[in-house]
Amino acid sequence: MPMSFLPEPDHVHGRAPTIGVLLVNLGTPDAPTPEATRRYLAQFLSDPRVIEIPKAAWWPILHGVILRTRPAKSAKKYASIWTRDGSPLLVWTKKQAALLQGLLGEQGHRVKVLPAMRYGNPSITSQLDALRAEGATRVLILPAYPQYSGATTASVVDDVARWSLAHRHLPEFRFVNRYHDDPRYIAALAESVRAHWKAEGRGELLLMSFHGMPARTLALGDPYHCECLKTGRLLAEALGLSEAQYKVSFQSRFGKARWLEPYTEPTLRELAGRGLKSVDLICPGFSADCIETLEEIDMEAREAFLHSGGQRFSYIPCLNDRPAHIRALAAIATQHLQGWPTTVVPDQAQAADLARQREAAITAGASR
């Protein structure tokens, strides 16, 4: 049976080809309501990369139990961290994309950077459509996941592939799989920790909490666990920490199966029970603050530590729009854009205008 392709946009002779960069994060509901959260969870938990259970066994659980009970509970959690501008994850990802385009422009690269969400909006498909409408002939997919996992990075590749099935004339794609040990990413993390210590003081231990994955994924060959440990080790080395001064843990368990250990909240309870009075916690695997950092860590994990005998819990925000983070993303993008005709030489007025735009975006973020 022949495939059916969507109509191609009109070709404009003489138009310079567009090169796109798609900055992709996990996703968020459109609103902190049970209805919007149900739509988001249905998409997220239907992904076979996320839930590696046969559909025949999983579908009755998902639609008969989870999507009937969990949306209302999750909506309350989203409401507790929602901002006037919307979901923090979407707000930060949009800002990161704008700042990344601005910095790349200042550096002489003519590219179009758009934000996208693997689940929810703006979707990968809608943003690829937007780039295609602008005549994009080459697209770099930059997932905002420093550590590679089949459940995250590979799922982004899957969605790009699904979009490709509907189109005849495809752009050339490149994918960034990981940057867990990139020196610029590690330096940005270290800078954020030092800045936090300078402003808030330093705790007795630095806990690095990464998103969890089922333990079986490690046995099946997923490199995520190893890459998290390497990020933790490199960050500790950059900060000059001994093995006794930091610890790596994993958060966000789901279901009854064994997940990567040690678990973050039980670790905090154990540390407080052993007499640790102060802890600093950073989530190096999250490029932007979201429900997993703002609610699960800065609210629930904080309460667990303090109620178990701890006296001071200090959450170190994600890299978000920190200049060192945007510089790291720009360097990673530039590395993967090599060989594509992105380089232009902006005149002084253009460069100054780009710098002003980026400074305005940074200022707007600082005032929020």
Q: Which residues are annotated as a binding site?
A: 211, 292
Q: Which residues are annotated as a binding site for Fe(2+)?
A: 211, 292
Side-chain-side CA neighbours of 323 within 13 Å: the count stands at: 8
Local structure of residue 15 (DSSP, 8 states): P
CA torsion angle for 20, 25, 26, 28 (degrees, to 10)?
A: -100
Long-range contacts of 193-200 (CB under 8 A, 24+ apart): 193/235, 193/239, 193/280, 193/282, 193/316, 194/239, 196/280, 196/314, 196/316, 196/317, 197/280, 200/314
Q: What share of the chain is helix, strand, coil (3-state, %, to 5)?
A: 50, 15, 35
Local structure of residue 20 (DSSP, 8 states): E
Cβ neighbours, 10 Å, residue 219: 9
Tell me the one-letter amino acid at 194.
R
